[in-house]
Structure 1
């Protein structure tokens, strides 16, 4: 037993140094080379600072609604609801989101509603939604802001991010950037 204790202590000390000192220092050093020194992508609008890579709550009719969040957009508590698709409470929550969306967007059929407008992402902080999620809201936005619907659709097209290398992942739109662009369009 004595011959195993010393190697175990050495291995523990080596792991502590490697994983608690060297690795975090390496990650921190690499983050300093990134834009904004590893503090995330930020944008300023109306003298407020927002993080582009964290979902924001937009509930006003004049804005594109965000993807729902299981953690109420609190980045300190990132996580999903962890409820099964058959869970009654979860199904009621999704149905309430569908009802709210249909109420805010008259004429919208239930079959037209994309899943990402009524279900939260795994982290609950997804800043993006699908192009379809934006298109189904365009009519409401145009009406509330007294804009031509074609201008709103053009704004959606301009803010659509293509898949990585043209083939990895779906097209998506950052909701915050789209709503900031919408405010800038309204100011013109």
Structure 2
């Protein structure tokens, strides 16, 4: 028994040093070379700080809606809903989101609603939506803000992040950055 306990204790101490000390120090050191020193991209808008890599709640009709959050956009409690597609409460929640979206976008067919506008992401904090999710909202925003829909589609194209190296991941749009640009465009049109 002694011959197994000592190696187990040594291995435990070694892994604690490796994964609780050396690895975090290495990640921290590499992050010091990144913009904002690994603290994420901070955007200051109208005197308020936002992290562009954390989803924000946009539910006003004059803005592009963000993806729903299972944690109320609270970064301290990042998590999914952990409810499956056979869960009645989950299905009711998704249907309520669909119904709300259709009330605010009556010209859209239910089948045209992109899934990310009615389901929360795995983390509950996804800051991005797809190009389709932004495009489906153009008519509503154009009517409310009095902006040409073609100009909104151009704004979407300007804020679309392409896949990494043209291969990895889908095209996506950061909703916070898009809505800030939308406010700036509206302000410029009103001057």
Under a length normalisation based on structure 1, what TM-score does the superposition of the two structures give?
Answer: 0.95
Map 1:20-99 to 2 at 5 A: 20-99=20-99
Q: In 2, Cα distance between the equivalents of 1:3 and 1:137?
A: 67
The match for 2:176 is 176
SS at match of 1:150: helix
Alpha-carbon shift at residue 161 of structure 1 (Å)? 1.3
The farther-off stretch of 161-170 and 35-44 is: 161-170
Show CA shifts across 1:42-86 (max 9, x none): 112111111111100001111101001111111111111111111
Using the TM superposition, give the Cα deviation of residue 22 of structure 1 relative to its aligned residue in structure 2, in angstroms. Answer: 1.5
Alpha-carbon offset, residue 3 of structure 1? 2.9
Aligned to 2:112: 112
Q: Structure 1 segments of 4 or more deviating over 3 A?
A: none
1:120 partner SS: coil
- Matched residue SS, 1:126: coil
- Superposed CA offset, 1:12-57 (max 9, x none): 2222222222122112111112111110111121111111111000
Q: Distance in 2 between matches of 1:10 and 1:16?
A: 10
- Where 2:32 maps in the other structure, the secondary structure is helix
Alignment of 1:121-140 (within 5 A): 121-140=121-140
Distance 2:151 2:185 in 1: 9
Q: Return the alpha-carbon distance in structure 2 between the equivalents of residues 168 and 69 of structure 1.
A: 25
Instruction: Give CA-to-partner distance per residue, 1:97-140, whole Å, 9 cap, x none.
Output: 00110111121110110101101111111100011111111111
**Structure-2-length-normalised TM-score:** 0.94
**Aligned pair in 2 of structure 1 residues 26, 167: CA closer, same or farther (>3 Å)?**
closer
Gaps of 5+ in 1: none
User: How many equivalent pairs are there?
Assistant: 188
Of residues 102-111 and 165-174 in structure 1, the stretch that sits farther from structure 2 once superposed is 165-174
* Equivalent-residue separation in structure 2 for 1:16 and 1:86 (angstroms): 41
